[in-house]
Structure 1
Amino acid sequence: MLARVLREDFRQTPSDVVVAAGEPAVMECIPPRGHPEPTISWKRNNVRVNDRDERITIRGGKLMISNSRKSDAGMYVCVGTNMVGEKDSDPAELVVFERPVFTKQPVNQVVLADDTVDFSCEVHGDPTPTVRWRREEGELPRGRFEIRGDNSLRLSQVRAEDEGTYTCVSENAVGKAEVSGILQVHDSCCCALK
């Protein structure tokens, strides 16, 4: 008769995983050799993972989360169990990042020459996204624009040649997003003529 055994070493320990919220996350593990063959379960932050959640599947040594959320992040441990006992793998971290999402977007504007224009652009994401502005028709008006602390774009003393599409581009480790606003400039002299 074969002795009941559960060896020490996991044949494959889970590795750290980084995903964007909404993407699937997969962690893999092959338990130590044992007799009887060990079954596998998973713990997140020392609490057993419940695969009754329809997003979570545990099959073989794989833990699959179909639509990851921020709340899924944490330290995961693969647990191999048989009659002899149970062994925990080294922990692996699941990091769930969020793609940039705009909370304030630029709006199309019609202004008079020499006016000051503000295009707003507020964005949320994890890690904190970078924000830059570009103009589809060429460069931003040299010496007459500033990007403010809240990422809004201010154009001063606008001229007819500043007309065009201004795009706020936001990017982080897991994604990129952009939104645009259109500027139209009317010549102030013509409006005065009745």
Structure 2
Amino acid sequence: PGSAPDFSRNPMKKMVQVQVGSLVILDCKPRASPRALSFWKKGDMMVREQARVSFLNDGGLKIMNVTKADAGTYTCTAENQFGKANGTTHLVVTEPTRIILAPSNMDVAVGESVILPCQVQHDPLLDIMFAWYFNGALTDFKKDGSHFEKVGGSSSGDLMIRNIQLKHSGKYVCMVQTGVDSVSSAAELIVRGSPGPPENVKVDEITDTTAQLSWTEGTDSHSPVISYAVQARTPFSVGWQSVRTVPEVIDGKTHTATVVELNPWVEYEFRIVASNKIGGGEPSLPSEKVRTEEAAPEIAPSEVSGGGGSRSELVITWDPVPEELQNGGGFGYVVAFRPLGVTTWIQTVVTSPDNPRYVFRNESIVPFSPYEVKVGVYNNKGEGPFSPVTTVFSAEEE
């Protein structure tokens, strides 16, 4: 016994969605015995075979290179000697999704804000979803909200990156998905910053006025280091000061420079600051503290003067030499004086480096008479210069 066509076990699809230009097959496979013959209508019109449209042996309808005009409701009627039945499928034809403004490779500095565009043209029938991948990982806008934000309207998935950091260098992919297709576009972002701190700062050699330093470079933050500045600090300085160096040498990753014009017998520590096109970076950690070697003093006391005092006294005063200019241990003063017109100097030693005066007492001193006076310096390493000669008067009569 035979049976009429019946779609209940194998219903036709309610809707088939395809893109313009693709190939589509609409199935029509009811149960029937003997096999049913099918014919197709689109709306009220019979479908005829033509260049793009053909009927398949199993009753299906094949349309190649689909156009928007092919969209509509297709009905398949199946018939044998026991009866007939029909089913319908709605064909939806959509325009392909296209990225019309894609992100491009960018080169930016730390702290800037950038927008990576991702704008699409898509069929209004389709819902659209944007996603961004950074170095292969899906961006989580809740978690990375301090830097990443999606901006733009419904057809735009622009990515804004605020206050960009070195860690944001890499590959960004905008992925656009609809129910029928997906497209993506990628861009590389290079973030450049000021250099990282130089490392391993060491004092390799020290003399009385020079120090040879070595260090290795830190990270260049995608922009090569152009220069290094050496800074020094002593117990007498206010913070870090730049110091003069003779040109450095680069041997592989190790740099050396000789600091010049240091003061003898002073404790120094050094640090290095690297600069590139973006700017100066964080300073290195300081070197260990080192003391320059001793040398004979080079600076005489200033403001040598005097006068006054009691009868038979010659009072001589000066500004003591500060510790950082004493150049060594065992520092003191040599006070020399002579009555105006006399050729030989009387000399005496003052052993305290902080002492600002010396008083010569002698009954033979004539009241209020002029003396030539000069004050020199010495330390463990030898004698230094005298101050210029100045005239000082002995005490007056009481």
Query: What is the TM-score when the length of structure 2 is the normalising length?
Result: 0.39
- Given the alignment, which residue of 42, 52, 56 partners 2:53? 56
Distance of aligned partners of 1:29 and 1:47 in 2 relative to their CA distance in 1, 3 Å threshold:
farther
Whichever residue aligns with residue 131 of structure 2, its letter is R
Aligned counterparts of 1:33 and 1:192: Cα–Cα separation in 2: 82
1:68 aligns with 66
Which aligned pairs between 1:3-152 and structure 2 lie closer than 5 A? 10-12=5-7, 14-21=12-19, 22-29=22-29, 40-52=38-50, 54-60=51-57, 61-79=59-77, 89-97=86-94, 100-123=97-120, 124-125=122-123, 126-136=125-135, 142-149=145-152, 150-152=156-158
Whichever residue aligns with residue 49 of structure 2, its letter is D
Aligned counterparts of 1:137 and 1:26: Cα–Cα separation in 2: 38
**Pairwise CA distance, 1:15:** 3.2
**Pairwise CA distance, 1:139:** 7.0
Aligned counterparts of 2:36 and 2:179: Cα–Cα separation in 1: 38
Whichever residue aligns with residue 146 of structure 2, its letter is G
Aligned counterparts of 1:137 and 1:11: Cα–Cα separation in 2: 50
Per-residue deviation, residues 6-43 of structure 1 (Å, max 9, x unmatched)? x9x64446433424311422221559889xx9854311
**Pairwise CA distance, 1:176:** 2.6
**Pairwise CA distance, 1:47:** 2.0
Contact 1:98 1:127 in 2 (8 A): no
Distance of aligned partners of 1:181 and 1:118 in 2 relative to their CA distance in 1, 3 Å threshold:
same
2:183 aligns with 177
Whichever residue aligns with residue 145 of structure 1, its letter is F
Distance of aligned partners of 1:118 and 1:192 in 2 relative to their CA distance in 1, 3 Å threshold:
closer
> Number of aligned pairs?
181
Aligned counterparts of 2:70 and 2:147: Cα–Cα separation in 1: 46
Query: What is the TM-score when the length of structure 1 is the normalising length?
Result: 0.73
Structure 2: stretches of 5+ with no match in the other structure: 195-274, 280-398
Distance of aligned partners of 1:77 and 1:71 in 2 relative to their CA distance in 1, 3 Å threshold:
same
Q: Does 1:191 align with 2:311?
A: no
Aligned counterparts of 1:162 and 1:117: Cα–Cα separation in 2: 11
Whichever residue aligns with residue 132 of structure 1, its letter is A
Distance of aligned partners of 1:57 and 1:40 in 2 relative to their CA distance in 1, 3 Å threshold:
same
Whichever residue aligns with residue 127 of structure 1, its letter is L
Which region of structure 1 is more displaced relative to structure 2, 60-69 or 178-187? 60-69
Q: Does 1:167 align with 2:173?
A: yes
**Pairwise CA distance, 1:184:** 0.8
Contact 1:17 1:27 in 2 (8 A): no
Distance of aligned partners of 1:190 and 1:10 in 2 relative to their CA distance in 1, 3 Å threshold:
same
Residue 277 of structure 2 aligns to a residue whose secondary structure is helix
Contact 2:5 2:79 in 1 (8 A): no
Q: CA RMSD in A?
A: 3.4
Structure with bigger RCO (C-alpha 8 Å, 6+ apart): 1
Contact 1:121 1:152 in 2 (8 A): yes
Residue 115 of structure 2 aligns to a residue whose secondary structure is strand
1:4 aligns with none
Distance of aligned partners of 1:15 and 1:185 in 2 relative to their CA distance in 1, 3 Å threshold:
closer
